């Protein structure tokens, strides 16, 4: 399963519209105090109450569209195959299976097939990036202590 199969890159016109909308939306979000603000759809005159979290998500979507990136939304509880999870991590499926078997990423089995929750995959990516940053900071401190940055 490739997540970008049915997702199209935004057109230049859509990118421009997203960039214009994000400016107004972000300025409005800073002033909203309610958890469920009311918005109006100008074309129909209808007013609807929307969770503030949904408007903040819309802001993130518009930012990505404005950059010309395709966007998809998946619930955190979405389960995926090992192939799809490997593609998201940018690694081979055998490497991902090794991570699963080592207990580094939780999974369930459906018959013989492993399934990974998107939430667990994202948590693994977050933890991995955090460890990488910590190791890099330690390496820089070691290099400084060794005088490698001195002129």
Tokens of 80: 């995926």
For 139, list phi and psi in degrees, rounded to 5: -60, -40
Name, in order, each residue with C-beta under 8 angstroms of 74's C-beta and a sequence gap of 6 or more: 3, 118
pTM: 0.61
Our measurement of the distance from residue 30's CA atom to the centroid of its chain's CA atoms, rounded to an integer in Å, reads 22
CB-count burial class (<10 Å; 0-12, 13-18, 19+) for 79: middle
What pLDDT digit, counting tens, does each position of 50-63 carry?
999 999 999 999 99
What pLDDT digit, counting tens, does each position of 10-37 carry?
999 999 999 999 999 999 998 999 999 9
pLDDT at 6 over 50: yes
């Amino acid at each position: 399963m490739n997540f970008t199969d049915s997702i199209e890159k935004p057109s230049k016109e859509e990118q421009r519209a997203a960039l214009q909308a994000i400016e107004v939306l972000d300025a409005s979000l800073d002033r909203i105090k309610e958890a469920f603000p009311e918005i109006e759809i100008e074309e129909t005159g209808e007013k609807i109450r929307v969770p503030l979290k949904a408007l903040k998500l819309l802001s993130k979507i518009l930012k990505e569209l404005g950059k010309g990136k395709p966007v998809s939304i998946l619930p955190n509880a979405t389960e995926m195959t090992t192939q799809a999870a490997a593609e998201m991590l940018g690694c081979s499926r055998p490497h991902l299976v090794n991570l699963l078997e080592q207990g580094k990423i939780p999974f369930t089995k459906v018959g013989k097939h492993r399934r990974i929750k998107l939430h667990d995959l994202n948590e693994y990516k977050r933890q991995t990036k955090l460890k990488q940053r910590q190791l890099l900071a330690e390496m820089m401190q070691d290099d400084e202590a060794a005088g490698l940055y001195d002129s």
